[in-house]
A and B are shown apart, each in its own frame.
Chain A
Amino acid sequence: MKFQADKRYLIVFVFAFIYCLSFFVSSVHPQMNPKDILRKADEARGNAEGVEWEIAIESIEGGRQQQRTIRVTARGFNSLAEFLAPPNVKGQKLLMLDRNMWFAKPGLSKAVPISPRQKLVGGAANGDIASTNYVGDYKIVQTSEDIVNKEPCYLFDLSAVDNRATYDRIKYWISKERLVGLKAEFYTVSGKMFKTAAFEYENSITVDGRPREFISKMVITSAIIKEDVTTMSYRKASIKKVPDSIFNLNLLTR
């Protein structure tokens, strides 16, 4: 009889535990709405109040390899990318003031305005190196759940707020636990997927005294030619005060 009672308690306990667990899992970030989650994911890819890092870009396109090393200084939605290597591109600069972009290179008299669509190198567009303003550029059409590499994720279906965004539609997987983007698919206006990206976050930066995961790798793969892969490795990430003068066109070339 006692055994029967114990069994009942055990069953109730297990049910209660499972119920609590499910409640806990579904409310890891109960205070956050989808937009906050997207904003958090943006922050792990550079959308901070003053950050600098280096990106080593390796691209394979049509079987041809290409390398670039750039230093990115970013604040909010502004960024300055300066090419460090190889020597024949050293000193080139890409200035992005929100949606306005200019390209300058040594010997060229003045900075040239360019569009966000113009390719940086390989499969990476100019907008990819610092375009982390998903929360501003895209609206959340739908949210669902999925699993990426055994990690439970929110799956955001994002649609461009207007035609100023780099991509028309993005499917974006954000880790439920870590609130960082793990995977993305980019679509054209016609609805055709043209590239995918996978993200890793082994870097760490300290914001307000607390460590924060920061992007360490972004691998862009062409959806049309699977062998065309661009790998962007992020290193030397550091928080720093970035004045307005860094992003000033009048002080850019010298």
Chain B
Amino acid sequence: MKHSYPNETQKRIETIPPHPPFVKGGWGDFQVKRRLLIVVVLLMSALGWWSEIVMAAEDSPISLAVIQKTLAEHFSWDLRILTFGIIQEPSNSSQNPGNNFLQIPHYTADLEIRPDLRLNIDPLELSAKPRMRLEYSIWREGYRKGESEWSDDWFINEWLARWKVRENLFLSYGRENLQWGPSFLFSPSNPFFQENGRRNPYLEVPGMDFGRLVWIPGSSWTISFIANTDEGRNKTASGFPIGFPQGTPFEKTYALKIDYTGRQNYGSIIFSHREDSLNSLGFFGGWTISDAILLYGEGVITQGSKALYPKRDSSPLGASMQKLHQDDSTIKPVLLVGGSYTFAASGTLSVEYTYSSPGYSDAETDRYYSLRHRAAEAISLGGLVSALGQKTLGQTVNTGLRFLRKNYALLQYTQNNIKNKIDLTLRWTQNLNDGSGQFTTVVSYSLGNHLELFSVGTVMAGGKNTEFGSILDYQCMIGLKYTF
């Protein structure tokens, strides 16, 4: 019997996303087209302005060559072509029994073309990052076992129009991957993005739409007003924004960010307000202790939590995932502290510790895994119970928490330019509550001035009822990057 599952359950892998989910059709397509249109209009305006200059130049002593030279000076582009293969082993856990729920392909081959285009005509800067992706997937586990599929995706991951109003005042709108903060594990101070792109530097974080006003009153201070107007590409296949619980609609978010940079330290605070009244205070800071030692911290304080928590009730599964702390007035801090030491010979060792107050307690964790187990059993029963099981598994994989538990540690060693060829990162992430871990290696080998061989490998440690053991057993990505 062949089962099919609703969109909510499709390929959303919170812990290890193979790549950002595809967004095709309907309203999403319309939004993409609308923004494409804006980019095209802006580029045409700029080109129109230049054509006027060129026409004026034809009537004047200024030669066309000079104009072309000037244009060449203002337009710049980069082009990267990546081709890679991914081998991954889905974990046979209650979250994804027999790979029938998440339906993760065992093999994936990708070709990605990533041009970056920039036109800088002071005071206007335009940039666009159109992307073309061709993917071939093969399933070896679950209901899709033996199936294969070709897919292609054409989109603009990021674009930006920035106007320099004055030397110290910038106004911009566009689709950006807006990231900040010093930490590797994740960036709790960022109210917009749950992923910071550090786990796998070869996969791009999907952009969201932002309007920004950046004011630089002095060399040490910057004040930014940021409005997140659309989730852009940062959403799951079923349309809700990544990082929020299953089914949560997108709401506009506004933030005020104040940055300070001193002689050997820096710090920022971020006040944010989501239109459905979720307020948060984010912060981060760093200190250059010596030429070798850096200390840093990052965090966020929120009132209550929008995340889903397991609660016993009279439903057929005996419990359900609910927003238990939505209206709590209690403060829920997430704090990350870290430091790094660079050895005299080479190489940098980084250590981070995170305390996440919204994470599950031991009792909540027991309820969570118990509910997940019952939901996994229910999906094969058919009927309404099966639908409930699917809905519940959709919620347990997208709880709205970046990490499930409260205490985490990260240990990372990075050494670049080994024998002028190799960049290496070894990273261990440990869930200090359930004992599971994730070991990641990122290696790149330079094959000349244009070509790079790269590999990102991840191995999970822990049982099926642990955070890192729930989705994948391992994942290995190997590829080539060509830069023009």
In the complex, A58→B417 CA distance in Å? 14
Partner of A90, one of B78, B125, B224, B262: B78
**A118-B348, A164-B288 are known contacts. Are A64 and B419 too (CB-CB below 8 A)?**
yes
Chain A interface residues toward B at CB < 8 A:
59, 61-62, 64-66, 78, 85-88, 90-91, 97-101, 106-110, 112-119, 121, 127, 163-167, 188, 243-245, 247-251, 254
A-B contact pairs, 18 of them (CB 8 A): A62-B420, A64-B419, A66-B417, A87-B449, A87-B483, A88-B448, A88-B449, A88-B483, A90-B78, A110-B196, A115-B294, A116-B291, A118-B416, A164-B288, A164-B290, A244-B216, A248-B214, A251-B214
Looking at B102-110, B198-206, B313-321, the stretch in contact with chain A turns out to be: B198-206
Query: Does B181 make an interface contact (CB < 8 A)?
Result: yes
Q: Is the CB of B344 within 8 A of A188?
A: yes
In the complex, A127→B292 CA distance in Å? 12
Partner of B182, one of A78, A86, A113, A251: A113
**Number of contacts between A and B (CB, 8 Å)?**
146
Query: Does B24 make an interface contact (CB < 8 A)?
Result: no
In the complex, A254→B168 CA distance in Å? 18
Query: How many residues of chain B are within 8 Å of chain A by beta carbon?
Result: 69
Query: Does B135 make an interface contact (CB < 8 A)?
Result: no
In the complex, A116→B263 CA distance in Å? 13
Point out the residues of chain A lying under 8 angstroms from B202, CB to CB.
Answer: 107
Chain B interface residues toward A at CB < 8 A:
78, 80, 114, 116, 118, 125, 127, 160, 162, 164, 167-168, 170, 177, 179-182, 187, 195-198, 201-202, 204-205, 214, 216, 218-219, 222, 224, 257, 259, 261-266, 286, 288-294, 296, 340, 342, 344, 346, 348, 416-417, 419-421, 446, 448-452, 481, 483-484
Point out the residues of chain A lying under 8 angstroms from B262, CB to CB.
Answer: 98, 100
**A86-B449, A109-B197, A163-B290 are known contacts. Are A78 and B78 too (CB-CB below 8 A)?**
no
In the complex, A100→B220 CA distance in Å? 12
Q: Is the CB of A61 within 8 A of B80?
A: no
Q: Is the CB of A100 within 8 A of B291?
A: no
The 8 residue pairs across chains A and B that have the minimum distance between CB atoms: A109-B197, A110-B179, A86-B449, A99-B264, A163-B290, A116-B291, A117-B342, A117-B291
In the complex, A55→B448 CA distance in Å? 21
Q: Which residue of A lies closest to B481 (CB)?
A: A88
Partner of A87, one of B218, B296, B450: B450
Q: Is the CB of B219 within 8 A of A244?
A: yes
**A107-B80, A121-B417 are known contacts. Are A98 and B348 too (CB-CB below 8 A)?**
no
In the complex, A64→B197 CA distance in Å? 32
In the complex, A101→B342 CA distance in Å? 13
Partner of A115, one of B197, B219, B288: B288
In the complex, A243→B168 CA distance in Å? 8
Point out the residues of chain B lying under 8 angstroms from A78, CB to CB.
Answer: 219
In the complex, A59→B419 CA distance in Å? 12
Q: Is the CB of B264 within 8 A of A98?
A: yes
Q: Which residue of A lies closest to B120 (CB)?
A: A254
Residue of A62, A87, A167, A254 most packed against chain B (CB within 10 A): A254
Q: Is the CB of B116 within 8 A of A106?
A: yes
**A109-B205, A110-B196, A121-B417 are known contacts. Are A245 and B216 too (CB-CB below 8 A)?**
yes
List 10 additional contacts besides A243-B168, A245-B216; criterion CB under 8 Å: A59-B420, A98-B263, A107-B202, A109-B179, A113-B286, A114-B342, A119-B416, A248-B214, A249-B261, A251-B162
Point out the residues of chain A lying under 8 angstroms from B288, CB to CB.
Answer: 99-101, 115-116, 164
In the complex, A165→B481 CA distance in Å? 37
Q: Is the CB of A247 within 8 A of B291?
A: no
Point out the residues of chain B lying under 8 angstroms from A244, CB to CB.
Answer: 167-168, 216, 218-219
Q: Is the CB of B264 within 8 A of A245?
A: no
Q: Is the CB of B291 within 8 A of A115?
A: yes
Partner of B261, one of A97, A108, A254: A97
Point out the residues of chain A lying under 8 angstroms from B450, CB to CB.
Answer: 86-88
